[in-house]
Structure 1
């Protein structure tokens, strides 16, 4: 029950070949497509880099083949990282948002400004207003101009992925990895260098950075040379986002004030002062 994340070192730092799990969330949020997800930010994440997991799968049979005295019971190995290295989902999302702005993806749907919540009601509202509604509007405009529609299809895939992911992000997991840790203690220093299964020397912030850049390069095929252009596009999206939010908020306040008669009340008050 672990989510596999981009590689720490092999074959190259940040390597990943799909958008499943946290990688898909980081990319979707960075592109401005994912605006909300159900997640308990205080829970610790159960994730493991893909190369650490593969090295562990290789070392387990290798280690067992060299054990002189076989155990009476077949041991169970939980491939996981050390408890002290497990970050909360809130930390992952906050750092992912920060790094997503420092190293933006090419042309996103909107400025990356989503949020996570444990409220299904609030999540449903945000999904309808900021994910599904824009998707249908964009597809409608594409249909008018004779272009191929794709946003609703993309949004459907994202929703399915988020529903699977929330099974992990809303539950507390406690996997004991005593047997897996024992392998690290038993193997030689040379084997430890060849087959890395310990992440104690990995800087979490730097790993998040290479994970985002890895998703950018290996999944989206966006070269690092496009970063300056992407930063300019992101600044434009930021201004557009703030302008739209200001207009929408201002329009709502005006409508509410008009409906409650506050506009007429203020107008009459100004007229009365003027006559004096």
Structure 2
């Protein structure tokens, strides 16, 4: 088999969702590690008055493309922005653009999707299911198409305990659901959504499952593969450790914890946090296209599914995530923290009633005290409603990853280095530190030169906390304990017990000395 860069040499690639987190990492990695690729066509819709070409120009000016800029200063010549809207008929492509794509594209990477977990069902169907159907229709008309890669999610079938690398039957017939949603008003759709979702937590996982089945039913003779990443996080190694550019998924959680805003969430310390670095996902995606594309004539055509996860190979738990966040942000604090990062005591709680109590005490009340207009509380509520359900922090799944292992074994030694997908090599503590620092540098744009001031601010918050606790103890003493003989007796008993323990340990230390 040819190497991965050799396979992409002279190929024209089409990417949807190129302005999103994974899409831009895919574009950068493709151009940097496969310099022989002929062109990368990206479907982009106009937004906020910006034309597609302007949006791409803004995107490639970010730090993510710095390394590529140094290696290949003229890389922008290979990027072709195509005006398109995936929610419109025929993808809103002009006749000329359709003819161009049908006559030159060799590989399609369909990454576009809505990742909003509370997206109304109609909108999620438009973006995750019907857009996929339109992309398949376009792919069927491409004369020289080698392979169609669809990026799904490992949680598409989270109603199962064991998730194999296969496409499962959908909860409903997607065709009937599409027809039904056409005549329903939004209020009726909202009422029936919980019943449709069943055991799935949100419309994202539900529509992703439908999209997979649609591909299976309508791919025909297309050479198709599906990549299912779990919770996609910051980069592990490429183009540099810790790169992240958004608040989505775990990033917003880490920032909220580092700022001292997030103090409690419903989760289990022992549940596997199936984080997977974005560069591992992209390397898997590029390698999957290479394998399916280069083997299309050498083996019976079948749709391969790749569960791109870490939990079954190199597990990392939410309790360990909590510890790493706490340690990193206490050593390298975020600027203008609301409170000291303090995830140790009660951040991860599996009991919903206990969690609700601590949410009120640790989030709602401080927010109201901090900002009488409750603006801070609104931001917190928005953060928790959008981000926390995304992490599935109370449960662990078992994903089969045989196809990913097979893919890794098919790669040559050099490809294994350049397109590393071996998560057994991932050192979690180091990765988490880089991830947290990445949110500081690339999401919040905080310079390392501001660390001394941030540490000083954290010490100030600590002193305020100690002072507040001392005043609180004195008030409790004056109001409750000093007025009751029984309370005083209990208080003196507890204090004397503490002194006895201290005396015992002091005596033991002296004897050992």
Same fold? TM cut 0.5: yes
Of the structure 1 ranges 249-258 and 94-103, higher mean CA displacement relative to structure 2 is found in 249-258
Name the structure 2 match of 1:230: 454
Name the structure 1 match of 2:444: 220
Deviation at 1:75, TM superposition (A): 2.3
Name the structure 2 match of 1:92: 321
SS in 1 for 2:307: coil
Is the helix fraction higher in 1 or 2? Answer: 1
SS in 1 for 2:273: coil
Name the structure 1 match of 2:246: 18
SS in 1 for 2:329: helix
Of the structure 1 ranges 110-119 and 66-75, higher mean CA displacement relative to structure 2 is found in 66-75
SS in 2 for 1:111: coil
Structural mapping, 1:26-175, within 5 Å: 26-67=254-295, 68-71=297-300, 73-81=302-310, 83-114=312-343, 115-140=347-372, 150-165=375-390, 168-175=392-399
CA distance in 1 between counterparts of 2:234 and 2:398 reads 22
Name the structure 2 match of 1:273: none
Deviation at 1:73, TM superposition (A): 4.0
CA distance in 2 between counterparts of 1:111 and 1:260 reads 35
CA distance in 1 between counterparts of 2:298 and 2:310 reads 27
SS in 1 for 2:305: coil
Deviation at 1:261, TM superposition (A): 5.5
CA distance in 2 between counterparts of 1:170 and 1:233 reads 34
The verdict on how the C-alpha distance between 1:225 and 1:264 changes in structure 2, with shifts beyond 3 A counting, is closer
The verdict on how the C-alpha distance between 1:163 and 1:177 changes in structure 2, with shifts beyond 3 A counting, is same
The verdict on how the C-alpha distance between 1:133 and 1:73 changes in structure 2, with shifts beyond 3 A counting, is same
Q: Pick from 406, 415, 425: which aligns with 1:191?
A: 415
Is the strand fraction higher in 1 or 2? Answer: 2
Deviation at 1:258, TM superposition (A): 5.1
SS in 2 for 1:52: helix
Q: Does 2:468 match 1:244?
A: yes
Q: Pick from 171, 177, 181: which aligns with 2:401?
A: 177
The verdict on how the C-alpha distance between 1:59 and 1:253 changes in structure 2, with shifts beyond 3 A counting, is farther
Q: 1:6 touches 1:214 (CA, 8 Å); kept in 2?
A: yes
Name the structure 2 match of 1:274: none
Aligned residues: 258
CA distance in 1 between counterparts of 2:325 and 2:387 reads 16
Q: 1:81 touches 1:198 (CA, 8 Å); kept in 2?
A: no
Deviation at 1:93, TM superposition (A): 0.7
Q: Could you tell me which runs of 5 or more consecutive residues in structure 1 were left unpaired when the two chains were aligned.
A: 144-148, 267-276
Q: 1:37 touches 1:162 (CA, 8 Å); kept in 2?
A: no
Deviation at 1:77, TM superposition (A): 1.1
Q: 2:258 touches 2:341 (CA, 8 Å); kept in 1?
A: yes
SS in 2 for 1:34: coil
Q: 1:35 touches 1:113 (CA, 8 Å); kept in 2?
A: yes
CA distance in 2 between counterparts of 1:122 and 1:254 reads 29
Larger RCO of the pair (alpha carbons < 8 Å, separation 6+) = 1
Name the structure 2 match of 1:204: 428
Q: 1:136 touches 1:151 (CA, 8 Å); kept in 2?
A: yes
Deviation at 1:205, TM superposition (A): 1.2
Q: 2:313 touches 2:423 (CA, 8 Å); kept in 1?
A: no
CA distance in 2 between counterparts of 1:249 and 1:84 reads 48
Q: 1:139 touches 1:150 (CA, 8 Å); kept in 2?
A: yes
User: C-alpha root-mean-square deviation of aligned residues, in Å?
Assistant: 2.2
CA distance in 2 between counterparts of 1:172 and 1:249 reads 41
Per-residue CA deviations over 1:57-79 (Å, capped at 9, x if unaligned) read: 11111111122543464222111
CA distance in 1 between counterparts of 2:488 and 2:238 reads 68
SS in 2 for 1:169: coil
Q: Could you tell me which runs of 5 or more consecutive residues in structure 2 were left unpaired when the two chains were aligned.
A: 1-154, 156-229, 491-513
The verdict on how the C-alpha distance between 1:59 and 1:257 changes in structure 2, with shifts beyond 3 A counting, is same
The TM-score, its normalising length taken from structure 1, stands at 0.85
